Amino acid sequence: MHVYDNPVHVLTNNPEFPDQLIKLSDYSDVTPHNPKYTLIPNVDLNLYSRGFGTHHLPGGMDSSSRFVKVAFVLSHALLIISIVCYSFA
């Protein structure tokens, strides 16, 4: 039996928990905010979608993808609700 301190409050069955935490580092550029456009300097383009900062979250239903998505949502839930409510106000 292994007991872990779980700073993200998410757990799935596979892979093992320490590997799940390492996997989160693959998504360090994901944000609940729209990213700043930096691809071509001096070209002003409008971002076409709300939540564009979450574009790189995994989309699968495998345990690793679920772990990453739930960890993101739990850590930003109040901010996401605020943004959505403000958008529809």
- The one-digit pLDDT tens for each residue of the chain (89 residues) are 889 999 998 988 889 999 999 999 999 888 887 777 777 888 887 767 666 678 788 888 889 999 999 898 888 877 656 665 555 55
User: What is the number of domains present in the chain?
Assistant: 1
pLDDT value for 56: 83
pLDDT value for 84: 58
Burial level of 68, CB count in 10 A (0-12/13-18/19+)? Answer: buried
Domain membership of residue 11 (yes or no) is no
Domain membership of residue 82 (yes or no) is yes
Domain membership of residue 2 (yes or no) is no
Structural domain that includes position 70: 17-88
- What is d(CA 82, CA 89) in angstroms, rounded to the nearest whole number? 10
Domain membership of residue 60 (yes or no) is yes
pLDDT value for 79: 65
